[in-house]
Chain A
Amino acid sequence: DVKVTQSSRYLVKRTGEKVFLECVQDMDHENMFWYRQDPGLGLRLIYFSYDVKMKEKGDIPEGYSVSREKKERFSLILESASTNQTSMYLCASRGTPGYTFGSGTRLTVV
C-alpha cells in the first residue's frame, strides 16, 4: 500500500514563527498536494507539485510556500504563522487509482 506520512499530528506554534510541515510518500509518485481542511469549507488546495522542484499555486496559496527537493518529500512552509492559519493540513500523493492522503497535521497558531 502507498503510504503518505506527515511528520506531526499536532503542532502548536506562536504567531510570527516560521513553520515547516513535512510530508513523505513511498511510491515514487510525481504529483503531491497540500490541502487545508476547515469545517464547512471542505478541503482547499494550497499548493501542488508535479515533479521535483516544480510547484504550482492552488486556490489559497497566500501566506504559504512549498519545497520539493526530492521526489518523495513535499514540505509546506508558513513563512510567518498567523492565527487564521490554524487548521488541519492534509498532504496527498497522486498515483493509480487516485489520491492517497496522510493522516493530517492539526496546527494551532497562538
Chain B
Amino acid sequence: AQSVTQPDIHITVSEGASLELRCNYSYGATPYLFWYVQSPGQGLQLLLKYFSGDTLVQGIKGFEAEFKRSQSSFNLRKPSVHWSDAAEYFCAVGPMEYGNKLVFGAGTILRVKS
C-alpha cells in the first residue's frame, strides 16, 4: 500500500536561513508527488508537483523539490525562509491513473524565528 512519511513533526528555522523538509514515500509504481502548504485556518494550497521529466521542480513562493527515485524521496527546499512561510506542509503521493486519490503525510509544522 502506498504511504508517505514526513519524519519531522516540527521544524524551527531562523528567518533568512535555508530550509529542507523531508518526505519519503512508498509506492509500487511511478507516482505523482505533491507538496501542499496550509496556513492557520486555511485550506491547502499547492506549492509544486512532480509528474515526470526533470527531477528538480520549481514551485510557488520560491520553493523547489527534488525527486530521487533511488531514495524514494521528494524533499522540499527553500534557500531563504521568510516569516510568512510559517505554516504546515504536507507531502502527498498519488497514482498516475485517472482518479488519482492522494495519500498524505502527517505534515511538518514550520516555525520561523525572527
CB distance from B21 to the nearest CB of A (A): 14
Residues of B contacting A97 in the complex (Cβ-Cβ under 8 angstroms): 46, 49
Of the A-B pairs whose beta carbons lie under 8 Å apart in the complex, a sample of 14, sorted by A's number, is: A42-B104, A42-B106, A43-B92, A45-B101, A45-B103, A48-B101, A50-B98, A90-B44, A99-B34, A99-B44, A99-B46, A100-B46, A101-B43, A103-B42
A58, CB-defined interface residue at 8 Å:
yes
Size bin of chain A's contact surface: 20 to 34
Size bin of chain B's contact surface: 20 to 34
- The one of A31, A40, A41, A90 in contact with B100, judged by C-beta atoms closer than 8 angstroms, is A31
Main secondary structure of the interface of A (DSSP, over half): strand
B9, CB-defined interface residue at 8 Å:
yes
How does the 8 Å CB contact mask read for B35-67 relative to A, with 1 for contact and 0 for none?
010000111111001000000000000000000
Interface on B for A, CB 8 Å cutoff?
A: 4, 6, 9, 32, 34, 36, 41-46, 49, 90, 92, 98-107
In the complex where A40-B106, A41-B106, A42-B107 touch, is A33 in contact with B101 (Cβ < 8 A)? yes
Residues of B contacting A94 in the complex (Cβ-Cβ under 8 angstroms): 100
The residue in chain B whose Cβ has the minimal distance to the Cβ of A91 is B43
